[in-house]
Structure 1
Amino acid sequence: MRRFPVRSLAVLAAVGTLALTGCGTEAAGRVGGVAATADAERTIRAQKVMRLTEVHEETGMTLLEGPTFDKNGDLLVVDVTAPEGSPKVIRVDVRKKVSRGIRTDGRGAYTSAQFSPYDGRIYLTDYAHGEVVSLAPDGSDPRTFFAGEVDGALMNPDDIAFDKEGNLYLSDARSLSVGDAHGRVVRIDRDGEKATVLAEGLASTNGISFDKDYRGLWISELTQNRISYLGLDGKGEVASQHTAVRVDGGIAQTDSIAVDADGNLYQALHGRAAMVVYDQHGERLATVELPASAKGLESATNVAITPGGTKAYMTVSGPAGGYLYTFDALAKGTRQSNGG
């Protein structure tokens, strides 16, 4: 997820108690006759697909997140701040540009959605209540997969990444306060019986995704505007950890992350309706921007790239509502390309 736009824990508490067409690529401009080389060498212009939600009167906002493709090619999206009675999980036919709600309830503040490779169910993180719930692919049969403390502390689970066996790796934000570094990365076995803290002392852990070879995890830390890399030992434990990329976001902050088949990172920005793309060595490759005509959109929270294709769908939100935008990714989509 991203931090809840105008996002504050007070808003989250309030929520809890309520219980793409083609795109173009522009070459870099020239400054004084010299090709501009600042950060990105190109800008990718995303194009509007459709509006999915309006600002909710009850919560004063809408916040789309967690785009993930089902086996039929439909896109599932969550609306973090949707009140009871409004769709909290939305299925989108991106070809026909139609959507329908498949889940609502009076409690959850869902910040991400992923399909498990183990049982095929939809897994949702409930940020406000520290839980992970699962649904049947059609949105029915809700089950609590995990709840309770991990190492003596409740989670604020944000995003999810699955390994090949179906074990869950969660970004646990713990706090969105400036200066706090209590965030964690938590691994939950696929049966939901065992939870292990893999890393801690992180700054509002947000995005999480495996790299292309499942050798490590990319983690975004929202209040430090950095992407960290956790090398894994082959048994699901962290063998190494370092800061990999420092994101020059200005007023924007690092939100969710997705990874394409070439290992490129798509870093969403909370506070700016844009994404930045890096290769696995930290080189900034491109910036994904909305058209200049797009107004009232403040954050690009997440992205999903079509499995086996390069069409990418980005969730964008703000006072104008919650939208899907599309652009051409730099490489094909895989499981890691559903924003974590």
Structure 2
Amino acid sequence: MQRFPARPLAVLATIGVLALTGCGTERAAPGEAAAAGTGSRTIRAQKVMRLTQVHAETGMTLLEGPTFDGNGDLLVVDVTALGGAPKVMRVDVGRKTSRTVHTDDRGAYTSAQFSPYDGRLYLSDFAHGEIVSLDPDGGDPRTFFSGEVDGARMNPDDIAFDRRGNLYISDSRGLSEGEARGRVVRIDREGGKATVLAEDLAAPNGISFDADHRGLWFSELTENRISYLRLDGEGEVTSRHTAIRVDGGIAQTDSIAVDADGNLYQGLHGRAAMAVYDRHGERLATVELPPRAEGLESATNVAITPGGTKAYMTVSGPAGGYLYTFDALAEGTRQSNGG
């Protein structure tokens, strides 16, 4: 059976910075793992289009970071694309077409978000520990943040913005070593100050504010749990607790999006499905692909249309990188772009 490498390790292998140090997650059979809880329901997603094929150089493709721009267009990143191939794509979901927004010879981008402060597109470069920004059309690339935070370089995975434009980042540091050295980091909107909000985490991945911007949800990939950071008006942590334990079986907790009602959409790496919880931790639904879908192994992320309920989920595996759509439980907001 073909094996599918864990996402951050694949990123490192793709750009050739470090050796691949871990093995992958076996594909789950339909109906396996992450069974819906009592009273939850199944939401059946439908295929929109295939965006990418497996890259010959890396043996995989991995779509991530779906986010809507100010015109309502959907942008998506391909984590494993090499230089010359599209690393950021703009998708016309109506016409089922896409075009390249950005490529380069260096970055391994795991997320994309538009800043409410300057309107630029921000990308997390997992392998180089940097945050890069582009203008909305993909030009004018700038390094927004680089270097160490409290003496250690980041492996930035997902990004969330507060209303002022400050960045909150899941730092998956320690993943390749299997050590709980991950962090949640805040970077001010000018890129001049970085602050560690939480540490000793097990490969933090998804990150999103709740519907009221009172706190942050973040997932830990290697512990299959979602935690909650309560914040004060200045973005300082007032409390932290484990909020949800995800019964994922062989699947692991990936990115998180939040709808207008505060429901959490938890992506699953290692299973082409998504778990949906309310803010109290009740399992409301499981988003599944049609039974006939084959060769798709991870539903990493989702974006819900701003002001609407149409959701677009990034799904990848040996069959390629796809967009699937489903009806979300509530309307989309800025926090409905999953990092």
* TM-score calculated relative to the size of structure 2: 0.92
| Structure 1: distance between partners of 2:50 and 2:39 | 28
Residue identity matched to 1:272: R
Distance 1:114 1:321 in 2: 23
Structure 2 unaligned spans of 5+:
18-34
- Does 2:176 align with 1:173? no
The whole-number CA distance in structure 2 between the counterparts of 1:132 and 1:304 is 21
**Cα RMSD (Å):** 1.6
Partner of 1:330: 329
Rounded to whole Å, the distance in 2 between the matches of 1:244 and 1:108 is 33
Unaligned runs of 5+ in 1: 19-35
Q: Which residue of 1 aligns with 2:57?
A: 58
Aligned-partner Cα distance in 2 for 1:148–1:37: 42
Residue 81 (structure 1) aligned with residue 74 (structure 2): no
Q: Measure the CA separation in 1 of the matches of 2:330 and 2:172.
A: 29
**Residues 190-249 of structure 1: CA deviation (Å, up to 9, x unaligned):** 000000001001110000000000000000000000000000011111110000000000
The count of corresponding residues between Structure 1 and Structure 2 is 320
Between the two proteins, what is the percent identity of the paired residues?
Answer: 78
User: What corresponds to 2:310 in structure 1?
Assistant: 311
Secondary structure, aligned partner of 1:223: coil
Deviation at 1:175, TM superposition (A): 2.3
State the Cα deviation string for residues 79-116 of structure 1 (Å, max 9, x = none): 00001110000000112111011111111000000000
* 3-state SS in 2 of match to 1:336: helix
For residues 262-285 of structure 1, what are the alpha-carbon distances to aligned partners after superposition, in whole Å with 9 as ceiling and x for unaligned?
A: 000000000000000000000000
How far does residue 41 in structure 1 lie from its aligned partner after superposition? 2.0
Q: 2:234 is aligned with what amino acid?
A: K
Shift in CA distance, 312/8, structure 1 to aligned 2, threshold 3 Å: closer
- For residues 50 and 15 of structure 2, the distance between their equivalents in structure 1, rounded to whole angstroms, comes to 25
TM, length-normalised to structure 1: 0.91
2: CA distance, partners of 1:8 / 1:123: 20
**For 2:51 and 2:267, how far apart are their aligned partners in 1?**
19
What SS class does the counterpart of residue 153 from structure 2 fall into?
Answer: coil
The CA distance in 2 between the partners of 1:333 and 1:76, in whole Å, is: 15
Cα offset for 1:39? 3.9
Is the partner of 1:11 in helix, strand or coil?
helix
Counterpart mapping for 1:29-68 below 5 A = 38-39=37-38, 41-68=40-67
Does the 8 Å contact 1:16/1:129 carry over to 2? no
CA contact (8 A) 1:210 1:336 kept: yes
The structure-2 alpha-carbon separation of the partners of 1:60 and 1:248, relative to structure 1 and needing over 3 Å to count, comes to same
Q: Secondary structure at the match of 1:224?
A: coil
**CA positional deviation for 1:251:** 0.5
1:306–1:333 Cα contact (<8 Å) kept: yes
Letter in 2 for 1:259: V
Q: Partner residue of 1:136?
A: 135
Q: Which runs of 4+ in 1 moved over 3 A?
A: 8-11, 36-40
Partner of residue 229, structure 1: 228
* Residue of structure 2 equivalent to 1:188: 187
Code of the aligned partner of 2:103: T
**Structure 2 Cα separation of the partners of residues 216 and 177 of structure 1:** 28
Do the aligned residues in 2 keep the contact of 1:133 with 1:146 (CA within 8 Å)?
yes
Q: Contact conserved, 2:208 with 2:256, CA < 8 A, in 1?
A: yes
